[in-house]
Amino acid sequence: MSDDPYRDTEAGTDEVTLGRIETEVALLMRFGEATRRATGTAEHRVLDRAAYVILRHLDAAGPQNVSALAARLNLDGSTVTRQVSALQRDGLITRTPDPSDGRGTVISPTTTGLQRMAAVRAARTRLYGDMLGDWPGEDRETLAVLLRRLNEALESRNRTR
pLDDT digits (tens, 9 = 90+) for 87-119: 999 999 999 988 887 788 899 999 999 999 999
Q: What is the pTM of this model?
A: 0.78
Residue 1 pLDDT: 44
6, pLDDT greater than 60: no
pLDDT tens-digit readout, 117-146: 999 898 889 889 999 999 999 999 999 999
CA atoms within 13 A on the CB side of 87: 32
pLDDT(2) > 60: no
Q: What percent of the chain has pLDDT over 70?
A: 87
- Can you say how many angstroms the Cα of residue 89 is from the centroid of all Cα atoms in its chain? 23
CA 45 to CA 40: how far, in whole Å? 9
Closest CA to 119 of 65, 39, 32: 39
